[in-house]
Amino acid sequence: MTIRVLVVDDSGFIRRRLTEIFNADADLEVVGSAADGAEAVQKAAALNPDVITMDVDMPVMDGITAVRHIMKEQPTPILMFSASTKAGAKATLDALEAGAMDFMPKQLQEISGDQDLAKRILRRRVRDLAEHAGRLRRLRRTSKPVTASSAAGTGAAKTSIRDFRLLVIAASTGGPVALQKILTAIPETASVPILLVQHMPGNFTSSFAERLDQLCRIRVKEARNGDELRPGVALLAPGGFQLELSEHRARKTVVVRESESGEHFRPSADVTFTSIARNMPGKVLAVVLTGMGSDGKLGAERLKAKGAVVWAQSEQSCVVYGMPKAIVDANLADCIYDLDEMAGELRNL
């Protein structure tokens, strides 16, 4: 089935360029374009596209406002195009909070130095988002929660949350909003350190950490090599790098390193989870939130083998039920929670 795309950008050159890129794929068809946010809202309702690509800065109505209108009236997967600047990062985070599902750099060379590869990545991202169009609309129209008692994964006995020595959370698509929701529930008196792995480019993680730090009662910062684990402090893996846990003479610190061959995600939940299993076995709580793919599954297996507890986000509350699904399907989830339930549990930290 052909995926119908609406392209929104105030630049005629960009609209034509994206149209050529998408129409070169037999699975994609650009069914319309818009030069501003107000036109985008109208055409989203009239054309009912499967995916919308959206610029941020436009006349008449900006992209963030347009996202809010579309998600309220015609919920549709929206891919934001963002400038690689601090202001661009902030605007993108605002758009994600407004309901956009994913984002990519506006300049193709920032996706990859290989233009053909960059185009393939862009097309694949649109195809991935289209797979979740129907589920996104159902998610927006229902608020019925799934309770942990009715959705327990393995049926394992629940461990008191106060017993854990480390909380590690992994997420991808839809993760920024999900992380904000559950981290703002954690009290300033939290007794455990926290590690965060969010699939995100390097020029965004600093702004994301700053935003979380402003909103949360705990401290949130982008991790730096050598940072020590401290109770009530959340360290966010920097985009473009890998975050690992290291222990030397009972002192636990993080290692921020370059990615190695074969490490597809930067940062990768599998890399972080595996290092925790190796250096801090036992009472660790690993949480896998919304996201495409299965990053975290291999690491979760290693954590479980060392006595960790794994939680997964419920399908009904996920923007994209990929990473949590991999955990559930592998029978690794000790509990499955929707975001509100998870936030309630984490208040006891």
Residues with catalytic annotation? 172, 199, 295
Distance CA 247, CA 254 (A): 9
Q: Chain centroid to CA 296: how far?
A: 13
- The 10 Å Cβ neighbour count of residue 168 is 29
Q: Which residue has the tokens 């982008």?
A: 222
Do residues 243 and 237 lie in contact, with contact meaning Cβ atoms separated by under 8 Å? yes
Structure-block tokens of residue 174: 């839809």
- 3-state SS track over the chain: CCEEEEEECCCHHHHHHHHHHHHCCCCEEEEEEECCHHHHHHHHHHHCCCEEEECCCCCCCCHHHHHHHHHHHCCCCEEEEECCCHHHHHHHHHHHHHCCCEEEECCHHHHCCCHHHHHHHHHHHHHHHHCCHHHHHHHHHCCCCCCHHHCCCCCCCCCCHHHCCEEEEEECCCHHHHHHHHHCCCCCCCCCCEEEEECCCHHHHHHHHHHHHHHCCCEEEECCCCCECCCCEEEECCCCCEEEEEEECCEEEEEEECCCCCCCCCCCHHHHHHHHHHHCCCCEEEEECCECCCCCHHHHHHHHHCCCEEEEECHHHCCCECHHHHHHHCCCCCEEECHHHHHHHHCCC
Strand partners, 28: 3
Copy the structure tokens of residue 116. 């053909």
